[in-house]
Amino acid sequence: MLPVASPTVLGIESSCDETAAAVVRGGRDVLSDVVATQHELHERYKGVVPEIASRAHVERILPVVREALRQANLGWEAIDAVAVGHRPGLIGSLLVGVAAAKAIAWSLSKPFLGVDHVAAHLFSGLLDRPICAFPALGLVVSGGHTSLYRIDAPTDLHRLGGTIDDAIGEAFDKAATILGLGYPGGPKLDALARRGDDRAHAFPVPYLGKDSEGERRLDFSFSGLKTSLLYAVRGVPDRTSRGREPHFPRSEADLDEATRANLAASFERVAVGHVMRNLERALDRQRVGTLLVGGGASANTRLRQELATLAGQRSLDLRLPQLRWCLDNAAMIAGYAAFRVQAGESDPLSLAPDPLSALR
């Protein structure tokens, strides 16, 4: 395929519970951006139910794509390439977006591209902004990933560390459940933490030891912090309950509002602090002038504030996505695909959705 200098890319995203399509020109001009969320379908189950998600994607994918073209005020002939998030994600959800993208690309005789969802999150801070300088440091903080990357070029990424258990967004969601806040938890915990005293409770700071060169590891862990919150809310379960459901002396319904907010703020301080310490360690070791951040938890108020402060102190070009591009969306898929379209690259129509593999 010939390189296209400023390609108009149709992006499709369906990896989890958002059905999304967008048209992006030249990797940064977002001509349209449509997201059909399924939150109302999953709320009563307190999490995403894969079968319900797949069926909802099937129903919504074509109306969402048509709406993206309508909002961009373009016909099909204006599309230079069709890109889709093809990994990682729920297999049934991925299949719907990948099948739609292939069918559209084939019918238009246009290039088809599969995009890594995590890479797309990392570069979402470039949408509607000029290109940044490389090398950069990349931080992805989502419901499924918490990882650091050295980025020498948009398609040349090296993973420096990642979570060994929960992702930070997952930890926020579980903390919200422990505090009785409901689904989706991250934004609710964020709002509650704003009203609390972040020093009211001393939660343990995760420590992951050193690597083979004696340097502190750049990995993350949130599961111990989550258990500490559980015990702070419900008390320590009795020891005789081994093998059975643990019996806790209290429930989250016993919390008064001030304590609930204080616990949320204290949990958030330690979780965000853990990310920031690792980020600073990585910055001490890598000579970079740019910091790319993305993923659902990059919408977190405290994390955004601490990142802005750090960027000011270290004179970094911080690329935080606008709030609407923190969560899953298709503009980031189309935006990231443009780097490959501009290089004349595409993928075969035999490319399969890949639920488990992610950017290494």
Among the listed residues 13, 33, 166, 170, the single contact to ligand KG4 using CB under 6 A: 170
Amino acid at 334: A
Choose between 136 and 167: whose C-beta lies nearer to ligand KG4: 167
Give the binding range for Zn ion (CB under 5 A) out of 130-138, 140-148, 245-253, 352-360.
Answer: 140-148
- Residue 196 interacting with ligand KG4 (CB under 6 A): no
Would you state the torsion angle of the CA atoms of residues 324, 329, 333, 334, taken in this order, to the nearest 10 degrees? -70
Binding of ligand KG4 by 172 (CB under 6 A): yes
Helix (H, G, I), strand (E, B) or coil at 334: helix
Is 190 one of the binding residues for ligand KG4 (CB under 6 A)? yes
Which positions from 10 to 49 touch ligand KG4 by CB under 6 A, shown as an x/- string?
A: ------x---------------------------------
Task: Evaluate the CA torsion angle 338, 343, 347, 352 in order and state its sign.
Answer: negative
Both tokens of residue 329? 């969306």
- Out of 125, 162, 185, 353, the residue judged to bind ligand KG4 by CB under 6 A: 185
C-beta closer to Zn ion: residue 20 or 179: 20
Surface-to-core class of residue 156, CB atoms within 10 Å of its CB (0-12 exposed, 13-18 middle, 19+ buried): exposed
Per DSSP (E only), the strands in the chain are 8-13, 18-25, 29-37, 81-87, 112-116, 136-141, 146-153, 156-162, 290-294, 317-319
Binding flag, residue 142, Zn ion (CB under 5 A): yes
Q: Residue 208 Cβ, how far from ligand KG4 at the closest point, in Å?
A: 21
Work out how close the CB of 5 gets to ligand KG4 at its nearest, in angstroms, rounded to a whole number: 30
Stretch that binds ligand KG4, among 22-30, 158-166, 239-247, 292-300 (CB under 6 A): 292-300
Which of the stretches 39-47, 59-67, 324-332, 349-357 binds Zn ion when contact is defined by CB under 5 A? 324-332
Query: Residue 354 is encoded by which pair of tokens?
Result: 């890949």
Comparison of 325 and 339: residue with beta carbon closer to ligand KG4: 325
> Is the Cα torsion angle 168, 277, 307, 32 positive or negative in sign?
negative
DSSP string, 234-292: H-PPPGGGTTSPPPPS--GGG--HHHHHHHHHHHHHHHHHHHHHHHHHHHHHS--SEEE
| Edge-to-edge strand list for the sheet holding 18-25 | 29-37, 18-25, 8-13, 81-87, 112-116
- Asked if omega into 184 is within 30° of 0 (cis), the reply is yes
Structure tokens at 64: 């969402």
Restricted to residues 210-269, the positions that interact with ligand KG4 (CB under 6 A) are none
Q: Does 38 bind Zn ion (CB under 5 A)?
A: no
Tell me the C-alpha distance between 218 and 208, whole Å: 8
Which residue, 105 or 275, has its beta carbon nearer to ligand KG4?
A: 275
Query: Using the rule CB under 5 A, which residue among 116, 198, 328, 347 binds Zn ion?
Result: 328
Task: Candidates 3-11, 35-43, 184-192, 330-338: pick the segment binding ligand KG4 (CB under 6 A).
Answer: 184-192
Sole window of 29-37, 38-46, 165-173, 245-253 interacting with ligand KG4 (rule: CB under 6 A): 165-173
Strands 317-319, 81-87: pairing is unpaired
Question: 7 or 88, CB closer to ligand KG4?
Answer: 88
> Judged by CB under 5 A, does residue 18 bind Zn ion?
no
Could you list the residues that contact Zn ion (CB under 5 A)?
A: 142, 328
Could you list the residues that contact ligand KG4 (CB under 6 A)?
A: 16, 121, 142-144, 169-170, 172-173, 184-187, 190, 295-297, 299-300, 327-328
